[in-house]
């Protein structure tokens, strides 16, 4: 049985709510059971924001996440707030601009240029959420990529489909490049 709890965190305006909805839709299309929830601060843009998704092959008996298996943090504030909620053995995906890090030797950490990839490589900061989603899906392998791409195409604003598809592919690529880099460091 596969059962995973995802917490996507950052600040309002980064599109993490949409990323959570897309992840949930992709999992549903992939035949999984899903619960998705979200919260954000009263400031909307710039305030705290998080989306949570539970994905399971079996029934989901409790819809809330206490401790997550996968934590995405796009801001220092989100990282500081949620790092202690990541389970030992969990997966931490963070933007490489996060500099203050807790001593967590019990989790797998992937620090990647998510925000700068959206801004510099794709010239649109608004697709950072989709870059992050690509990283999450490439690392977690709980949802088939074809369903993720389909859900992205279903949910992004009309006229931005190609840009978002490129953003998703860049997210996949960031992980592949990071794994290759880690492999060569070990050799």
Q: What is the pLDDT of residue 114?
A: 98
Q: What is the pLDDT of residue 10?
A: 94
Q: What is the pLDDT of residue 45?
A: 59
Tell me how far apart the alpha carbons of residues 20 and 175 are, in angstroms, rounded to a whole number. Answer: 19
Place of tokens 């950052």: 10
Enter the pTM of the model. Answer: 0.93
CB 70 within 8 A of CB 4: yes
Q: What is the pLDDT of residue 102?
A: 85
Q: What is the pLDDT of residue 187?
A: 55
Q: What is the pLDDT of residue 42?
A: 57
Query: Which residues are within 8 A (CB) of 29 and not within 5 positions of it... i.e. 6 or more apart?
Result: 147, 150, 151
State which residues of the chain have pLDDT below 50.
Answer: 1
Q: What is the pLDDT of residue 4?
A: 95
Q: What is the pLDDT of residue 12?
A: 85
- The H or E element containing residue 132 is helix 128-140
Strands 33-40 and 48-56: antiparallel
Q: What is the pLDDT of residue 132?
A: 98
Q: What is the assigned CATH class of domain 3-186?
A: alpha beta
Question: Taking the CA of residue 66 as centre, how many other CA atoms within 13 Å lie in the half-sphere pointing to its CB?
Answer: 2
- Angle (CA) 103-181-72 rounded to 5° is 45
Q: Where are the domains of the chain?
A: 3-186
25: nearest Cα among 114, 139, 126, 156: 156
């Amino acid at each position: 049985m596969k059962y995973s709890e995802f917490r996507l965190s950052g600040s309002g305006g980064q599109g993490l709510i949409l990323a959570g909805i897309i992840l949930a839709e992709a999992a549903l299309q992939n035949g999984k059971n899903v619960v998705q929830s979200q919260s954000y601060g009263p400031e909307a843009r710039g305030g705290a924001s998080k989306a949570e998704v539970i994905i399971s092959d079996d029934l989901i008996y409790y819809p809330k996440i206490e401790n997550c298996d996968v934590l995405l943090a796009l801001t220092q504030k989100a990282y500081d707030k949620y790092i202690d909620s990541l389970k030992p053995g969990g997966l931490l995906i963070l933007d490489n601009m996060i500099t203050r890090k807790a001593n967590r030797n019990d989790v797998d950490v992937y620090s990647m240029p998510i925000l700068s990839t959206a801004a510099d490589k794709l010239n649109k900061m608004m697709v950072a959420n989709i870059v992050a989603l690509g990283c999450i899906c490439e690392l977690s392998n709980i949802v088939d990529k074809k369903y993720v791409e389909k859900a992205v195409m279903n949910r992004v604003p009309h006229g931005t489909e190609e840009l978002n598809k490129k953003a998703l592919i860049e997210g996949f690529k960031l992980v592949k490049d990071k794994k290759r880099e880690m492999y060569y460091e070990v050799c």
